[in-house]
Structure 1
Amino acid sequence: MNQKRYRWEELMTLLEPFHTQAAATARNLCRTTGDGDDLYQEAVLRACEKLHTLRDTSRFRSWFFAVLLSVHRSRSRRSVWRRWIPIDDTNAADVPDSGEGIDREAASARRMSYALSKLSAEQREAVVLFEIEGFSMEEVASIQESTVAAVKSRVLRGREKLRTIYEKSGWDERQVKSARQPVAPKEPVTEKVDRMFAIDPTTSMGKGAHHG
């Protein structure tokens, strides 16, 4: 077996336990599902190329997410010109909300994706990893190769900007519910948004502050 084939199979073995979460994170970092899938595929290829630099496989999960964010930032810089070109996607504000089942969930997901796209790359990463994917502040800091204080600042500013976007758009996603209840493994997007906006941005955001 050649070395490249061996690295690929080793990568797939290490990635298998959380590849679904990683793919979902990539989609949440991007405006469209297609861009998210492209980001994830590029991150997998980059990880395969760099796998030989990983000395401790027990750290693979945080290492892979760091690779994912690195690729995300590179793609963001390469596509900066797209801000002047209308994206081929329905404006989130135009998505109807039937208030029922899948339609409501799809509309909420579209609105959240639209709002997240308005954040800076680092703010979007911090909010997605901490608020949606459930990483602790310390884990996000490690993945972003930053400090806990910097991550807290990004999450705080990201929350404020998202809240402003939702309020100006007239989207009513906030419900009166506990912000510190455990997150269900397959929590609907609407629940994630509700939880995000139920949190007072001035409260402590320490490790596991709202994940149980």
Structure 2
Amino acid sequence: MATIRHEFYETDEKVTLSIFDRGADPAQVSITFEPRKFTYTHGEKSLVLEPLKGQIDPDASDFTVGKVKIEVRLIKRAHARWGALVGDSPDPLTAPQTISPEPSTSTGVRKQAKNWDALTTTILTSEKEKTTEEDPNVGGDSTLNTFFQKIFGDADEDTKRAMMKSYQESGGTTLSTNWDEVKRAPVEVKPPAGSEWKKWN
């Protein structure tokens, strides 16, 4: 007998199998569903899939005969992706040692997501624990602001005046703590390299 051309796609719940047998007579088509075996025969043409990659529910599985192809719906007993129609892998429903890894595949994804959350939290926490003396840029602008607030809070009056004057007159591009230098003249604007300073009305 000649093996017939076929293809499939799947979801976690079922496999949809297309058997290309143009003009098949529904009265002569024979299909048998077994837990790990599928058989299609029509005259000289046949397709036997054994062992199926996973177990199917023979009672829930069905098919329709069309003009171009026969569409078969194989309902899976265990919700999981097969990746192939046939395979020598142990049946998750009959081999006890594979029952735990099968469900853990789906729960493993959820655990992994929680692990990412925990990892992110750990990173953020460790960043918060770093002192601004170790790294003034740690944690972004808010921590940098805290760093400057600490300098400002601990500074004497001249240093505070220098910081305020230099920051305001330079449009936020310069911050000096040297009052003797800043009090002499207006502080010029020094935009970062590659930037152009524009005054907004």
**Same fold flag (TM > 0.5):** no
Normalization by structure 2: what TM-score?
Answer: 0.19
Q: Which has the larger radius of gyration?
A: 2
Going by fraction, where is helix more abundant, 1 or 2?
1
Instruction: Determine which structure has greater relative contact order: mean sequence separation of CA pairs < 8 Å that are 6+ residues apart, divided by chain length.
Output: 1
More strand by share: 2
